[in-house]
Structure 1
Amino acid sequence: MKNILLAIALMICSSILGQTTDEKYSEDVKSVDAIMKAYYDVASGSSSDPWEFERDTYMHSKNAHIIFLDENGRVELVTLEALQNELRMSERKYFYEKELKRNVSQFGNIVQVWSAYEVRYKPETITNNRGLASIQLHYEKGRWWIDSWTNQMESDKNSLVTAFLMKE
């Protein structure tokens, strides 16, 4: 009986570990809704959860741009690799992003997503820490790719999320 259980466990592990990135993450990129769910999933987790850099990289096009705007509109442009390297060198903490509202515009193979979200440092904590993301996607080779995203957090100077949530 032990040998049978060991054999089953080995088969399951080898099938999971032997998967290609396409096999592991193809569901994440099959639709705009799926890639947006994955976009927030890879950033969220507890301090004991591993980072999902492989999954995150799979969703992004090769030269994707990431832009952070401060409350005064100053731009910080980073690559996905640089952002992931910064995260690798820091301690993982509880961090949860939850999408609040999304607006999607699509023309052909190009999609523009406006997505309001909140940030929580514990899942049960109520927060007013919110931001707005502008995410550009394209469809190629049977899947969606994230080409760029720009984030700005709401502040006392800028109630952009409140304005976005109230807009129809």
Structure 2
Amino acid sequence: MFKTRLTLLLLLVFTAVPAQKQKNVYQEKVKDLDSIIETLYDVISGEKGIERDWDLFKYLFHPKAKLIPSRQTDDGSMSLKFMSPKDYIKASGNWLVENGFFEKEIHREVDVFGNIAHVFSTYASFQKQNDSTPFIRGINSIQLLNDGERWWIVNIYWMNESEEHPIPQKYLPN
């Protein structure tokens, strides 16, 4: 009985150490606004065939967070799709790996009040890291919360650029 308890205790200790180490590594990724936004772009980006770190992706988000793409429908109206981080992984994860995808931030506007922040982050998307012309651009509207220990992404609401809605100059690099 004693050996069984000791074995279970040791098993718990040795399996908890890697999880704690991973959390400590991830904690660096959410310590400030720059690191969480950079990590957001980095974690979804990668060459064709490269698996993404979905545990890190989920770690960036508040448990009730939403990812909300907007798009213009065929009849000209706007539609929204509300997804949890897990829903996003299910909907887009395989596509990102099968096709290659790099989303790069090209401009950022930040407003902070107390423990909340709003980031307007202009992006350019490429299929390969070395591509020079993006296949799409747009703006991520990212809302974040600092709980006193770390930043959490609460929502990402985005819209791709179109002929009808080009990105305004104030949201582009100088």
* TM bin (shorter chain): 0.7 to 0.9
Cα separation, partners in 2 of 1:47 and 1:130, compared to 1, 3 Å:
same
- Structure 1: segments with no counterpart, 5+ residues: 1-13
For structure 2, the residue ranges without an aligned partner over 5 or more in a row are: 1-13
Number of residue pairs matched by the alignment: 153
Counterparts of 1:66-145 in structure 2 under 5 Å?
66-71=67-72, 72-90=77-95, 92=97, 93-128=99-134, 129-145=136-152
- 2:157 is aligned to 150
Does the CA-based 8 Å contact 1:96-1:122 persist in structure 2?
yes
Offset, 1:135: 0.1
Relative distance call for 1:137 and 1:158 in structure 2 (3 A) is: same
| Cα distance in structure 1, aligned partners of 2:158 and 2:41 | 13
Residue range with higher mean Cα deviation, 130-139 or 83-92: 83-92
* Equivalent-residue separation in structure 2 for 1:82 and 1:63 (angstroms): 12
Q: CA deviation at 1:56?
A: 0.6
Which has the greater radius of gyration? 2
TM-superposed deviation, 1:163: 5.4
Instruction: Confirm or deny that 1:37 pairs with 2:38.
Output: yes
Q: Give the 3 Å change call, closer, same or farther, for CA 22–69 of structure 1 in structure 2.
A: same
CA distance, structure 1, for counterparts of residue 139 and residue 67 of structure 2: 13
Q: Letter of the aligned partner of 2:153 in structure 1?
A: I
Moved runs in structure 1, 4+ residues, more than 6 A?
none
Shift of the 55–165 alpha-carbon distance from structure 1 to 2, 3 Å rule, reads same
**Per-residue deviation at 1:61?**
0.2
- 8 Å contact kept, 2:108–2:171: no
For each residue in 1:51-86, what CA deviation from the matched residue of structure 2 results, as whole angstroms up to 9, or x when unmatched? Answer: 111001111000101111114532111111111122
Map of 1:61 onto structure 2: 62
Deviation at 1:49, TM superposition (A): 1.8
Q: TM-score, normalised by structure 1?
A: 0.82
Q: Is the 8 A contact 1:131 1:161 kept in 2?
A: no
1:19 offset after TM fit, Å? 4.0
Q: CA RMSD in A?
A: 2.3
Letter of the 1:18 counterpart: P
